[in-house]
Each structure stands twice: as structure tokens, then as C-alpha cells.
Amino acid sequence: MDKTSRDIVRDELNSLTSAAKQTFSQIQSFAIAETWKILQLLVASTVRIIENVATDLAGSEKKELAMEVIENFYDTIFTHIDLPFLPSAIESVLHQYIKKILMILVDSAIDAMVATLKDVGVFTKESVEIQTERQKQKPYKDFLTHIGKITGDILL
């Protein structure tokens, strides 16, 4: 059975999630600011991967797929988010609400990124078709490079 573009995107993002999990294996919790920065990088990488691979999907389907893979990343990586102004016991209770708020921001970030990239001509049919295989791997590599900067180069 041939893989659909959705399957290919999911595989790419699952590989990215696995690599990030390995990179972050020594980190017990993330500050909310680091979490948001990592999610912004993930949005950028996800949008680029989807635009390169899932050319057969409508815009709403692409966004639905992006939210799905980003939520999966979040659930896998961000098991504990540190809120410096709250005790740990309360943080664990609020974890699901923090995720909901961050996913609202991610949703808006996807819209803003896609609109901006369309405005500057990045998502024209011609620009997507001329991308080489190396360029298609770039979002994955860029993401892994930049997360080291966000976490203060602790692990990379």
C-alpha cells in the first residue's frame, strides 16, 4: 500500500519528535518561555514540511495535519512545564490548561506563518516544485540545530 502525503508528513514529524526526545532526554522540565520558543520553531518546520510534501491537501487539511503532529510532539516532549510563579503541585494540575493555551497560540502562529510566506512568494507552485531533496530535509535539520540555542546549548 502506498503511503499518502499525510502518512509521509506524520513519519517526518515522528522522526523529528524522536530526535528531539533523545536530545531533551536529560531535561526534566521546560520553562514556559522555552516551550513556546520550541513550539514556534516546530510550527515553522512543520509548515515547511507540509508545504513540501502534502501538495495534494487543501489548506484546511494541511492545518489540521499540522495541529495533529504538533500536539503529538507536545504530548511526547513537554511532560512537565515549569511555571516559576506556581508550586509544582499546582503546575501539574494546570498542565492541560497550559497545553490548551499554547495550542491556541500555535493555531494562530500557523495562520500567521502561512500568510506571511504566501505574501512573500514562498508558497507558489513553482517554488515548491523546484525544491531539491536536500532543501526538503532542511526544516528537520534547522529545527534540531535551533533547539540547542533555545535550551542554552546544554545538550547540543
pLDDT digits (tens, 9 = 90+) for 112-134: 999 888 888 776 655 444 444 44
What is the domain range of residue 56? 5-148
Q: How many domains does the chain have?
A: 1
Nearest to 139 by CA among 26, 19, 7, 6: 19
For residue 155, being part of any structural domain is answered with: no
Grid cell in block for residue 93: 494540575
The 3-state DSSP class for residue 122 equals coil
With respect to residue 61, please indicate whether it lies within any of the assigned structural domains.
yes
Report long-range pairs for 113-116 (Cβ below 8 Å, ≥24 apart).
Answer: 113/43, 113/44, 113/47, 114/47, 114/59, 114/63
**30 - beta bridge partners?**
81
Would 10 be classed as within a structural domain?
Answer: yes
Whether 156 is covered by a domain: the verdict is no
Show the cell assigned to 25. 532526554
Q: What percent of the chain has pLDDT over 90?
A: 43
Query: Does 109 fall in a domain?
Result: yes
Report d(CA 24, CA 80) in Å as an integer. 12
| CB 145, CB 17: distance < 8 Å | no
In a domain, 55, yes or no: yes
Could you say which DSSP state residue 131 is in? -
pTM: 0.79
Percent of the chain with pLDDT over 70: 78
Per-residue pLDDT, 141? 66
19, part of any domain? yes
Phi, psi of 83 (to 5 degrees): -110, 105
In a domain, 153, yes or no: no
- Report whether 72 contacts 42 (CB < 8 A): no
